Amino acid sequence: MEVSKLKRARREEKRRNAALSVSARKRIAAVCGVVIGIAFVLFTVDLIRAKQKELPPLFCVPVIKYENGSEDYYGLFYKVWKDYDPFDRETEYYVGFWFIPKNFSI
């Protein structure tokens, strides 16, 4: 009687600790790939708009607005800084990732 309980307990523990099936891994990898692909496309569009055309980003949300007219935009895994200089009346855009400080740009 004790042996069968022990075997049942071991079987149950193996089932609980089993790794994900191959099809579940493929689904997770596909979803992650799609999210990363979409993030890359959004980042590329906003990078081209900010760096080459000096326009505000399309796929970012303005989060912080400063008194001098500068703004911080946050997108999917990246951010865009609009740096406005009121004396020279110039606007520059910087693009980077969330964890990169403002004084470092791509």
Residue 99 pLDDT exceeds 60: yes
Identify the bridge partners of residue 71 per DSSP, sorted by sequence position. 65, 82
Identify the bridge partners of residue 81 per DSSP, sorted by sequence position. 72, 94
Residue 67: what residue type?
E
Contact 56, 24 (CB under 8 A): no
φ, ψ at 31 (rounded to 5°): -65, -45
Residue 93 to residue 63: CA distance in whole angstroms: 15
Q: What is the mean pLDDT of residues 2-14?
A: 81
Query: By mean pLDDT, which of 41-45, 89-93, 96-100 is the weakest?
Result: 96-100
Contact 72, 100 (CB under 8 A): no
Residue 19: both structure tokens together: 């790794």
- For the entire predicted model, the pTM comes to 0.71
